[in-house]
Structure 1
Amino acid sequence: MENRKFAFIKSDKKFIKLYFDDITVIKGLGNYVEIYTTYHKRFVYYKPMKVLIESLPDEFMRIHNSYIVNLTNIEYFEDNQIVIKDLKINVAKSYRDCLINAVNKRML
């Protein structure tokens, strides 16, 4: 996993190559996830979030029961919200401390 830069997902009967750097947010939809990208495309993929988070690189973090974010694409983090592109996402209390630790490790 350390050296992988991309993965394939199956969406709409196609295998789509997604670079991890291009993924901004992953939203849980039951046994499916909706993957948002930096180029404003969305893909629906059949895989539960619990299984998906285990196969993602370290820069991905779960911040809510329904959201996984790519830390490299966060624009800012304020109060209990992060902003990525046009999305504002609430950070759950149970994930807040972990997110703050991850942000502190990346501070100048």
Structure 2
Amino acid sequence: MTKDKLTIKYIVIEDEPLARRGLVKLLKDYECLECMGMYSNTEDARMIMEGQQLDLVFLDIHLPEETGLEFAKLVPASIQIIFTTAYPNYALESYELNALDYLLKPIAEDRLKKAVDKVINHFQKNISEQEIVTQTDHIFVKADRKLFRLELNEIQYIEAMKDYVMIHTKNKKLMVAMNIKTICNQLPGSDFVRVNKSFVVNLNNIESVDNHWVTVAGFEMPLGASFKENLLKRIEKHTINR
């Protein structure tokens, strides 16, 4: 999802080719939706979900090998789910998984519009909340049973460690009990960007970038291939806006 112009990146997981193509064709009417791929099974879909920033999944329930309901339990909370199925009896279970909506096949255009409107409203609300967060120049984090105030310009980079992150500042390191996506949501996207699955860097503190490495405060970290294009665009935009 981008802020300057609302762009919601989605994929479709559906084992019936006609249903897959038909849904994407209907969704082309919505300029804010950008299709990142169509998949017949969850295994293939996982590859793009690991390497790209996604906002939304249109997910069939009856799939080969792994059901949509099973797959949904593993989808990060930041990615919204709309179930698509021919069976109405899974509705309750889908909402227990915090699905944004539940569409019955064949999907009527007016019903699809209601679901898309719900998606747009959800992400517009998120943008508004993030803009409130980015108006501040600091965040509070809990470490060692204390609350620490961190000035954003003091944060050099953040390292993921399973259910924790290590925040590296100019003067100290703090181990915080939250995952990397959670803390990313607290940071202004204008200054912080992921360079691979495990590291977020402060654009203001980048010393160098090449095809494979990013250096911050003398520390080299790998530049993920799927993150490289976004990083270079962000650096260019950050330089222009300064």
Under TM normalisation by the shorter chain, which class is it? over 0.9
Matched AA of 1:106: H
Aligned to 1:35: 167
- Cα shift at 1:91: 0.7
CA–CA separation in structure 2 for the residues paired with 1:53 and 1:2: 11
| 1:27-58 per-position Cα deviation (integer Å, ceiling 9, x unaligned) | 0001100000112x110000111221112112
| 1:46-75 per-position Cα deviation (integer Å, ceiling 9, x unaligned) | 011122111211211011100011101111
Secondary structure in 2 matching 1:102: helix
CA–CA separation in structure 1 for the residues paired with 2:200 and 2:164: 13
CA–CA separation in structure 2 for the residues paired with 1:52 and 1:8: 11
Matched, 1:52 2:183: yes
Matched, 1:82 2:178: no
Runs of 4+ residues deviating >4 angstroms: none
Bigger RCO of structures 1 and 2 (CA < 8 A, at least 6 apart): 1
If the length of structure 1 is used for normalisation, what is the TM-score?
A: 0.92
Q: Which runs of 5+ in 2 are unaligned?
A: 1-132
**Identical amino acids, percent of aligned pairs:** 25
Q: 1:98 aligns with which of 225, 230, 233?
A: 230
CA–CA separation in structure 2 for the residues paired with 1:86 and 1:24: 11
Aligned to 2:204: 72
Q: In the alignment, is the contact (CA less than 8 A) between 2:139 and 2:186 conserved in 1? A: no
Q: Which runs of 5+ in 1 are unaligned?
A: none
Matched AA of 2:184: I
Secondary structure in 2 matching 1:8: strand
Q: In the alignment, is the contact (CA less than 8 A) between 2:166 and 2:173 conserved in 1? A: yes
Which moves more between the two structures, 78-87 or 90-99? 78-87
Higher strand share: 1
Higher helix share: 2
Q: 2:146 aligns with which of 14, 18, 30?
A: 14
If the length of structure 2 is used for normalisation, what is the TM-score?
A: 0.43
